[in-house]
Amino acid sequence: MYPSADMSGSRTPGTAVGALLFLFFQALYGLTSSGNVFRVPDEFEVYFQVEHFVDAGDISVPQTMAISQRVVKDGQAVGQEPVFFGTIGRNRKPYAPYGPLVAFLALPHHLIGRAVASLAGVRRTPLPGGLAWLFVVGGFTMLATATAAALAVTGFHRAALAIGADQRDALRLSLLLGGATMLWPYGTSFFSEAFQAAAVIWAAALLLEKKTRSVAIAAALIASAGLTKVTSLVFAPAFVVAVLAAREVAASARIKAAVALCVAIAFAAGVHLTWNAVRFGDPLNFGYDWAETIPQLPARAFLASDIPRGLLVLLASPGKSLLLWAPPLVLSTLGIRQFWRMHRAVALGVVVAGTSGLIFFAAYLFPEGGYSHGPRNLVPILPALMLPAAAASLRPRWLITVCGVVGVVMALAAANVSYLDDQSIGADLGGGGRANYYERVTPLPGRAFNRYRLAYIPFVESVTSPDWWRSPIPGQGPDFFPLHLAQARRQLPNGSVIPVWLIGAIPIWWVTLLLGSAAALYKR
């Protein structure tokens, strides 16, 4: 991850293959996309940000105040409350605690969703009756993360070629990244991690190509990752370290690149602090309302004494282990020594990013990332962590096969099973579930009373449920957009306005694109 003053006119290799990879994974993630943004605030409040920006020109989320959810305590319903999670701003508007950029990144897909709904004759009506329009437009808006995840795969392919990987190796590793890691389920949900992963790996690829003009673009991408989610800035110093460590590059070029990256980091942090001050009158108030889970406020978001357990969650627990959810990283561990010898500066950046991410999120209030598949917080650096695999000269074929099979099974299961269906909070937290995702603890001051249960086994809750395949609630059951649309058409009061042809056209389009791009890749 370093720039150089030369090679500015060199031709980028693998462009055609990269484009085909993008189309293939765009189709795969689009075909398996959940299409259901209405699960947790991290998804539906971002959707409402996009929607309200188009409607009113700002990214507050007043829609959340018009929708109620049932409040359950000790297994009993005790009332209703708005679904809003966030903080009321100084202007009395409700704001979600998420980066300001993610809503704009999803804007093109949201506009496509509105256009499709209009073409299909699905008219918008006021809530709570107008759910059919929301299901259609929300599903197309969610495809933004499918595009982002596909771009992350393409960025990795470009970065692998830039460090000298054989073109066939670069293609194989890209297929493993896109199809045998947790990047797949994050391309089918509406979390922001796919956007961050694309920005981070493309920044690395541009710097690795040693083109002077690419430094500014790489810096802009680092800033965009930070503006998408402020915690992405935890990984950003690794780029500065890598640039400064590239001793084969002239000192003046290294310093200029490092300054550009530092300016980008400072810019993203400054925007967040200013945005917080404008909204809430406090630059350090990011909008999170922890009152529901933390009995003794203020919150202590990070605690060093929790690092050992947090590392156990992120590396060894069956529901969140990084190696279980991204088995191809085993190939990176085999290649790290050779990678260190060949690309020391880049290897140093990868090690710093991985170490800082693990320690930072191990100390975090929720190291598992809340309701989600796998170690959500580490998805942004997943493609970068795969880079050492491109340098491994000794990769047993059986090991590659095992990593691929395990990764595909985990990713495909996650794409089929909604994390929210599978991750019940359990009876001891008032949810009445059969298998607990969280356990109740007596916390230290400032910490949450719900803690991730190390014994949680993914997918058990759903696949053992007798009514999983035919859930009576729209948006539950097997987690695919066309199935949810069909379910909504049958069960919503105004569901009949969703045309059958739209439900069938979505998978036909994606399957056609998938097969066409796969055939073209095979020929190459």
The reply to whether omega before 298 is within 30° of 0 (cis) is yes
Q: Tokens standing for 137?
A: 């437009």
DSSP 233: G
DSSP 364: B
DSSP 182: T
What pLDDT is recorded for position 4?
Answer: 39
Instruction: Give the CA radius of gyration of the chain.
Output: 23
Separation CA 156–CA 396 (nearest Å): 22
Q: Tokens standing for 161?
A: 């070629």
Q: Tokens standing for 484?
A: 């949810």
The reply to whether omega before 458 is within 30° of 0 (cis) is no
What pLDDT is recorded for position 136?
Answer: 96
What pLDDT is recorded for position 236?
Answer: 97
With the C-alpha atoms ordered 478, 484, 490, 493, is the resulting torsion angle positive or negative? Answer: positive
Separation CA 234–CA 353 (nearest Å): 8
Phi/psi of residue 61, nearest 5 degrees: -130, 65
Cα torsion for 102, 227, 185, 455, to the nearest 10°? -130
Choose among 362, 353, 358: nearest CA to 302.
Answer: 362
Q: Which regions in the chain score pLDDT beneath 50?
A: 2-11, 71-72, 74-78
Query: Which stretch of DSSP H or E encloses residue 380?
Result: none
Q: Tokens standing for 473?
A: 């609630």
Q: Tokens standing for 153?
A: 């795969």
Choose among 419, 409, 436: nearest CA to 376.
Answer: 419
The reply to whether omega before 128 is within 30° of 0 (cis) is yes
Choose among 241, 261, 442, 437: nearest CA to 345.
Answer: 241
- Cβ–Cβ under 8 Å, residues 134 and 47: no
Please, what's the b/e burial string for 197-210 (b: 16 or more CB within 10 A of its CB; e: otherwise)? bbbbbbbbbbbbbb
pTM over 0.85: yes
DSSP assignment string, 440-492:
E--PPTTS-SEEE-TT--TTHHHHT-TTSTT-SSTT-SS--HHHHHHHHHHHS
Separation CA 132–CA 392 (nearest Å): 50
Choose among 135, 175, 182: nearest CA to 377.
Answer: 182
Separation CA 206–CA 221 (nearest Å): 10
Please report where in the chains the tokens 């991750």 appear, as a residue: 423
Separation CA 507–CA 31 (nearest Å): 6
